[in-house]
Amino acid sequence: MTTSTSTVYTEPAPAPRLERAAAALTANGFTVEVLDDVAAARTRVRDLIPAGAGVFTSASETLRLSGIEADINTGERYAAIKPRVLALDRATESGTIRRLLASPDVVVGSVAAVTETGALVAASGSGSQIPSYAGGAGHAIWVVGAQKVVPDLATALRRVDEHCLALESVRTMAAYGSPSAVNRLLVLQGEPYPGRNTVLLLREAIGF
């Protein structure tokens, strides 16, 4: 990947592009809030999730770096799903794991790209977050850095292949000893159920 291509995928989008993306998402039924920074997103996520809710945090550098992952998965405010899943035996309790991940009260994560035409693109190696993102969760919250805003769906898919996959493979090699793969792609082009989701679009870059 050339330096110029890398810059395209890592530089925060300027205000006019963020505004176009936010307006298009809103027109497509998504609930969108444009926030200044990670600290504001961290506070807003806490405001949006009621105490005691069953919350699944998808694998996300945005959540990890922001502290949102730790906020949800430690302490006693929420019925955090990820710690519960990690304690289960995948060989004998796979059905329970699958159901817990597919239909939480709330899923919190990020996406690989947001288009100025109003779509969200999520990529996954395992597919664990896809059911909850697509509709299984009662409420989906996506925290998205400004560098993920792209003009259109074709650019979004290139961002996944040319940028996100390599960085995610570094993470999975360190964590699991194997590279990642784009085995699942989800394109969310509209939300038919008003209020089911919240896109927190940041003015700064964070995550992949």
Cα distances from 111 to residues 4, 108, 123, 196, in angstroms, run: 22, 10, 7, 16
CA angle 89, 53, 191 (to 5 degrees): 100
Whole-angstrom distance, CA of residue 156 vs CA of residue 150: 6
- Report strand pairing: 113-115 vs 120-124: antiparallel
Q: With contact defined as beta carbons under 8 Å apart, do 167 and 57 qualify?
A: no
What lies within 8 Å, CB to CB, of 176 at 6+ separation is none
From first to last of its 208 residues, the chain has per-residue pLDDT tens of: 344 455 789 999 999 999 999 999 999 999 999 999 999 999 999 999 999 999 999 999 999 999 999 999 998 999 999 999 999 999 999 999 999 999 999 999 999 999 999 999 999 999 999 999 999 999 999 999 999 999 999 999 999 999 999 999 999 999 889 999 999 999 999 999 999 999 999 999 999 9
**Is 3-202 a domain of CATH 3.40.50.1000?**
no
Whole-angstrom distance, CA of residue 85 vs CA of residue 98: 9
Q: How many CA atoms lie within 13 A of 158 on its CB side?
A: 13
Whole-angstrom distance, CA of residue 53 vs CA of residue 35: 24
The pLDDT, as a whole number, for residue 4 is: 45
Neighbours of 114 (CB within 10 A): 31
The pLDDT, as a whole number, for residue 6 is: 59
